[in-house]
C-alpha cells in the first residue's frame, strides 16, 4: 500500500513539474512574442517618421491638414489618428498616404495599418512659446518629427534634411516638431470607435479607453457608436489609496505627470513624451 502511495506521489510530482515547465515555456514564448512585436512596431514608427518628415517639408497642404485635425482634439488632446486622415484628398486630389508611398513600400504601409491601428500624430505645446498647434505657421514652419525609441523615453528626431538626432529623456526640442506615437486614449477593442475608422481599417475596431476622453460628440467628422446603456456623463470612480496600481503600463506616465503638475502649470504631455526636469534645445 505504501509503495503504491509513493509511486502515485512521484507521478504527481513529475506531472506538476512538467506543468510548471510548460507554464514557464508559455510565459517565455509570450514574452518573446511581445518583445518581437514591440521591436517591429518601433521599426515601423521610425520608418513612418522618416517618411513623414519629408512629406511635411514638401507640402504645405499636409501641414495644414494635420494642424486642422489636431485642433479638433477628438480625444481632448492635439492628437490626430493617422487612419482618419490618410485617405483625405487634398486640393490637388492627392492623399497623405499617396505622398507617403513615395518613401514607404506597400508592404510597410500594410504592416502599419495592421500593427499600428492607433498610430497618432501629436502636436505638442512646447515651453517658452516655442511651438504649439495654435501658433504653428504652416506656411513657413516645417516641423521635425519625433518618435520614442526606447523604454527610457529617449526620443529620435528626424529632420527634413535627412539628419537624425537622439534626445535624452530630460531634453525637449524648442522648435517645431510633430510626435509620432500610439494613442493612449484610443485603443483596439471589440467595439467600434467610429464609422470612419472601421471603414478605413478593415477588421480593426477602436474605442476610447474611457468615455471621458471622447470629444467626438457634436462633431461632423465621424458618427460615434456608443455603448448600450452608457450614461451621457462618466460616473465618478470610487477613490482608492494607490490608483497607479490599477493603471495599465501605458497610462502610468500620464498619472505621474498629473501628480507632478496638478498644482502647477507644467507641461504634462511633454513630460509623458520627453521626461521630466526638461531642458529646452533650440
The reported pLDDT for the residue numbered 223 is 37
Residue 245 inside a domain? The answer is no
Residue 239 inside a domain? The answer is no
Residue 170 inside a domain? The answer is yes
The reported pLDDT for the residue numbered 258 is 55
The reported pLDDT for the residue numbered 172 is 83
The reported pLDDT for the residue numbered 21 is 55
- For residue 174, give Cα distances in angstroms to 130, 141, 144, 232: 5, 13, 11, 40
Residue 133 inside a domain? The answer is yes
Residue 160 inside a domain? The answer is yes
Into how many domains does the chain fold? 1
- Give the position of cell 510597410: 108
The reported pLDDT for the residue numbered 188 is 80
Strand partners, 79: 122
Residue 222 inside a domain? The answer is yes
Strand partners, 120: 81, 181
Burial (CB < 10 A; 0-12, 13-18, 19+), residue 57, is middle
Residue 66 inside a domain? The answer is yes
The reported pLDDT for the residue numbered 187 is 85
User: pLDDT tens digits, the chain, 282 residues: what are they?
Assistant: 555 554 544 555 455 566 565 555 554 544 455 456 778 899 999 999 999 999 999 999 999 999 999 999 999 999 999 999 999 999 999 999 999 999 999 999 999 999 999 999 999 999 888 999 999 999 999 999 999 987 777 899 999 999 999 999 888 889 999 999 999 888 886 544 444 444 443 344 788 888 888 887 644 333 333 333 333 433 333 444 555 555 555 556 555 655 554 544 444 354 555 444 444 453
The reported pLDDT for the residue numbered 269 is 54
Q: What does the radius of gyration of the chain's CA atoms come to, in whole angstroms?
A: 23
SS (H, E, C) 43-55: HHHHHHHHHHHHH
Question: CB pairs under 8 A, 24+ apart, for 156-162?
Answer: 156/46, 156/49, 158/49, 158/50, 158/52, 158/53, 159/53, 160/53, 160/54, 160/56, 160/57
Residue 233 inside a domain? The answer is no
Burial (CB < 10 A; 0-12, 13-18, 19+), residue 236, is exposed
The reported pLDDT for the residue numbered 207 is 82
Q: Which domain holds residue 181?
A: 30-226
CA distance 63 to 56: 6
What's the grid cell of residue 49? Answer: 517618421
Amino acid at each position: 500500500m505504501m509503495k503504491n502511495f509513493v509511486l502515485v506521489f512521484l507521478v504527481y510530482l513529475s506531472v506538476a513539474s512538467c506543468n510548471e515547465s510548460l507554464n514557464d515555456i508559455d510565459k517565455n514564448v509570450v514574452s518573446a512574442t511581445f518583445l518581437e512585436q514591440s521591436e517591429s512596431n518601433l521599426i515601423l514608427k521610425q520608418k513612418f517618421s522618416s517618411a513623414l518628415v519629408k512629406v511635411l517639408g514638401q507640402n504645405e497642404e499636409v501641414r495644414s491638414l494635420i494642424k486642422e485635425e489636431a485642433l479638433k482634439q477628438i480625444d481632448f488632446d492635439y492628437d490626430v489618428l493617422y487612419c482618419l486622415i490618410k485617405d483625405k484628398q487634398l486640393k490637388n486630389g492627392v492623399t497623405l498616404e499617396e505622398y507617403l508611398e513615395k518613401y514607404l513600400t506597400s508592404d510597410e504601409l500594410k504592416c502599419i495599418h495592421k500593427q499600428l491601428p492607433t498610430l497618432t500624430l501629436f502636436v505638442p505645446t512646447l515651453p517658452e512659446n516655442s511651438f504649439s498647434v495654435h501658433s504653428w505657421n504652416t506656411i513657413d514652419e516645417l516641423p521635425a518629427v519625433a518618435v520614442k525609441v526606447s523604454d527610457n523615453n529617449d526620443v529620435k528626431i528626424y529632420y527634413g534634411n535627412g539628419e537624425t538626432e537622439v534626445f535624452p529623456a530630460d531634453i525637449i526640442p524648442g522648435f517645431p516638431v510633430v510626435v509620432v506615437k500610439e494613442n493612449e486614449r484610443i485603443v483596439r477593442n471589440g467595439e467600434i470607435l467610429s464609422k470612419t475608422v472601421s471603414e478605413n481599417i478593415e477588421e480593426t475596431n477602436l474605442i476610447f479607453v474611457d468615455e471621458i476622453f471622447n470629444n467626438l460628440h457634436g462633431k461632423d467628422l465621424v458618427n460615434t457608436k456608443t455603448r448600450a446603456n452608457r450614461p451621457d456623463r462618466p460616473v465618478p470612480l470610487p477613490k482608492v489609496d494607490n490608483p497607479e496600481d490599477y493603471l495599465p503600463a501605458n497610462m502610468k506616465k500620464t498619472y505621474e505627470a498629473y501628480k507632478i503638475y496638478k498644482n502647477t502649470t507644467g507641461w504634462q504631455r511633454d513630460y509623458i513624451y520627453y521626461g521630466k526636469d526638461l531642458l529646452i534645445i533650440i
